[in-house]
Structure formats: structure tokens, C-alpha cells
Structure 1
Amino acid sequence: MNVDSMAVNILKRGVEFDTKKRYTEALVCYQEGLQILIDRMKEECDDDVKKYLKERVEDYMGRAENIKKLIAKQKESGKFHEQVQIKNNSTGHSYKTLFGRFLDKDVQYVIVEDPYIRNFHQCQNFLRLCELLVTSCSDLKKIELVTTKDNKSADVQMKYFKELRNNLMKYNIQFFAKYSDTLHDRQIVLDSGWIIKIGRGLDIFKPLENKFCLGVYDLDLRQCHETTVDIMHSKHVKQSS
């Protein structure tokens, strides 16, 4: 039977993520695919087609519920770990795609640790992250950045941070930049418990060929460097000072 191809593709992708143990991504796909099937089932008049759609809905709803329980169990035991391998020159890895599913109303403050938020394109990547946080986390109160000081252009770096701080104040969000000479780890810590560790930090995107090509604004179209993203959960995340 001809089930909506969009739902089929989304649900197939969910199964692929499920098989790779990328459970949170699988859950998002199952939920999106299920909504399409449910909407289609409500509009269907043919009883046979409606019965087929109902069976598919019940099947994938069962898969989604099992994943929810598995994620909850792993979070409770502190053993949740999901890994994404980003291949060299691959696309489809914007910040929203990588970890946007963890950004919601439960997130009130975020700590970003990345030693290389110094020159213009690195600060611009951080700005893109801040945009995503502001649009996704409705109750966001504070963003804290821990990075290293750019000894060659410290004034310019501080200027970028000051401008960002003043802008975020318009959204009632506090921004603090702290400097560390020994910082090496790269991670994003959400007070909801999620911890996203990116091997290269925010600087995963390759330079564009020119300023008028795909990928200038949509980061899912930008080629990436090879790196690994590890996603974990802790009931006791680092507290902001």
C-alpha cells in the first residue's frame, strides 16, 4: 500500500539510528513519522488502508515507547552514551541537527567550554550556537563561555564578547566569558543534565569556496572536518558560578 513516502523515509531513518544505538535521534524520527501516519489515518476513508496505517502506527509507537524507557533507564543509571561520527567532507551536521533535540524549555543555563573561541570565524560559530539556544530554550537565563584568551588580538576578542553580552541582555539572558590558560576539553553542558562533547569543539565546519555558495547560512549544507560527538547525561551537571 502507498503510505506517504515522507513518513516512510523518516521512519526508515529512525530504524537506522535505532540500530546504531543513536536512540535520541531514533526517537525524534519515530515521533515525526508517527505524526504523519496519524494525520494520514484520520483523513483516510478506505477501511483497509486505515487498518494498515493503524498497524504501522501501533508498531512504531511501541518502538518509540521502548526507546523512551531505555533512555530513561540509562539516564537514571548514569550510563547513557550516544556517539556520532562525523566523516571528513560530510554534510548535514549543523548544531541543530547534532544536538538541537536536547534544547528545550528545561534548559535554563548553558556552559560552553571551548579553548578556541578567539578569531572571527570561531566567535561567529559561538554566535550561531547562541542563536540556536535563544530560539530553542524558552526559559534560558544564562550562557557561560570558558575559553582561552587571544593574546594577539585580545581587545578584538573582548569586543566581540561585549557586543554579544549587550545583545543577549535584550532577551533577558546573561552572558559571561571566562578565560583559562589550561583549558583543553570541549563540551557543552546543559543544566537539564545533557553533556555534548565535540572533539573539535564548535569549529567543525570547513571554509567555504566563496561567499556566494550553499552553506553560507544553512550549516547543514556546509562540509565538515572529521570529528566525534559524544552525548552523555548526568543528574549532577557542573553548576554555574
Structure 2
Amino acid sequence: MNIESAAINIIKRGVELDTKKRYTEALVCYQEGLQILVDKMKSEIDEATRTYLRKKVEEYMKRAEAIKKLVIQQKEAGQFHELVHIENNSTGHSYKTLFGRFLDEEVQYVVVEDPYIRSFHQCQNFLRLCELLVRSCSNLRHLELITSRDGRSEGDQREWFSNLSSDLTKYRVKLIVKYSETLHDRQIILSSGWIIKIGRGLDFFKAPENKFCLGVYDMDLRPCHETTVDIVHSKNVKQSYG
């Protein structure tokens, strides 16, 4: 019953997120859990167990469909809002985990507004985001970064962006870097209409304790600073970049 208990754990997490109104995250959990249960049901010989599994699948599928409709309704009404609170020292908050579910073939243009993509580790965070975007958004063609200049390492900053820009062209993605000394907002705007606002911007990970500890490369294992993530949807974004 290990497979079934794994599915139940994922679905329980879905119910927990559902209760917190983190609907898009809950949907991902429901879909993952349902897939495991469906596979288990197909291979199950015992009729009573099959009936039980079928009942569970129908129950959670119904809820998943209801959430899908709810998300569509809220998007259409311009009322979608999901709030994620990242606690101090908590883990499990890589960019993929936080908002990877919104990165798909619909995304053609991404704008990143963050005044602190300047020092080496901050530019590395931006690089991690670029890697995720290239892997997830097959139709991405434009990536715009709005940030501020770093007086101390401006030459390095320019060189890092130049290297990244030439690399992104291999994936048919054009990087446009703009500088603003008055920028304060920190947000990621997707041409599909999703807007991810992170209180601390991309730089919410704590420095690793040393170069050989868990979390150096896998950001889901890296402890974080406390921050909040607001996810909203705007049809105006689609009009601007559509």
C-alpha cells in the first residue's frame, strides 16, 4: 500500500493548500495524487480495493474540477489572489516550487522588476530564474530585466548580463536589460497574465553555511529569509504583451 499512502499524502497536502485558498498549488497536488491513484487502480486485482480507489478518484477529481473552474472565474473577474508566506529558515521554496506551475507554453514574454540584481549572488539568482524559464516556457522569446546599477561592480554586472544575453540567444530568447535608479517594486510579470510579487525580490535565500552543505545547488533545500509572495492575474498584461 506504499503507492496509495504516497498518493494520500500528496492529496492531504492538496486539501491543506485548498483550505488556505492556495488553489493553484492545491490543484498541482490533486493532479499528482490522482495520477498515482489511477495507476494503482488500473493494476489492482482486488475488486473491493478497486471500488474504494475509484470512489476516491471520483471524489478528488470532482474537487480538482471545481478548483479549475473557480480559478478561471476569479481570473476572468480580475479577483484572483494567492498569498504564500515564507517563514524564516524554512525550506522548500525554490523558484520552481513557488511559481513553476505558471510557466508554460503560453508565456512568450517575461518582465522581471527587481532593483537588486547587482552583486554576484543576486545575478546568480537571476541566472537560476533564466534557466527555469528556458526549460519551462517553450515559446519564450523576450525577457526584460529592470534593475539598478551597482557602483562597486558595474563592470562585472555588465559582463555577467552580456554573457547571459549571448547564451540566451542560443535558445531564441532576447534579453533586454534596463536600469532605473527609482525602481522599488519587485515583481515577475508573465505575458500570460500572471504576476508574481515577492516581498524581497529574487534574493530571499540565505547564504549557505559552507560550500559543501545541502542547499548549495538545490534551492529547495536552502533556508530562506521571511517574505511574502503575492500571486495575481491581470488581463491587462495579456493586452500589453499579446
Tell me, yes or no, whether TM beats 0.5: yes
User: Offset of 1:2 from its aligned partner?
Assistant: 7.5
Q: Deviations over 1:203-232 (max 9, x none)?
A: 010011100110011000000000000000
Q: Give the aligned residue type for 1:131.
A: E
Rounded Cα–Cα distance in structure 1 between residues aligned with 2:217 and 2:3: 34
- 4+ residue segments displaced more than 6 Å: none
Report the count of equivalent residues: 240
- CA deviations over 1:122-167 (Å, ceiling 9, x no partner): 0000000000000011111111100011122211111110000000
- The question of 1:146 aligning with 2:146 is answered yes
Which residue does 1:204 correspond to in 2?
Answer: 204
User: Which amino acid is 1:209 matched to?
Assistant: E
| 2:8 equivalent to 1:8 | yes
Q: What code does the residue aligned with 1:89 have?
A: N
- Contact 2:3–2:36, Cα closer than 8 Å, also in 1: no
Supply the AA of the counterpart residue of 1:83.
Answer: L
Counterpart CA distance in 2 for 1:2 and 1:193 is 39
Aligned residue identity for 1:43: S
- Partner of 2:9, secondary structure, is helix
Matching residue of 1:230: 230
User: Structure 1 CA distance, aligned partners of 2:212 and 2:127?
Assistant: 21
Q: State the alpha-carbon separation in 2 of the partners of residues 192 and 76 from structure 1.
A: 13
* 1:214 match: 214
| 2:14–2:27 Cα contact (<8 Å) kept | yes
How far off its partner does 1:176 sit? Answer: 0.8
Residue equivalent to 2:188: 188
CA distance, structure 2, for counterparts of residue 202 and residue 20 of structure 1 = 24
Counterpart for residue 119 of structure 1: 119
Q: TM-score, normalised by structure 2?
A: 0.97
Describe the SS at the equivalent of 1:176: strand
Q: CA deviation at 1:38?
A: 0.5
In the alignment, structure 1 segments of 5+ residues that lack a partner are none
> What TM-score, normalized to structure 1?
0.97
Q: How far has the Cα of 1:188 moved from its partner?
A: 0.2
Alpha-carbon deviation of 1:67?
0.3
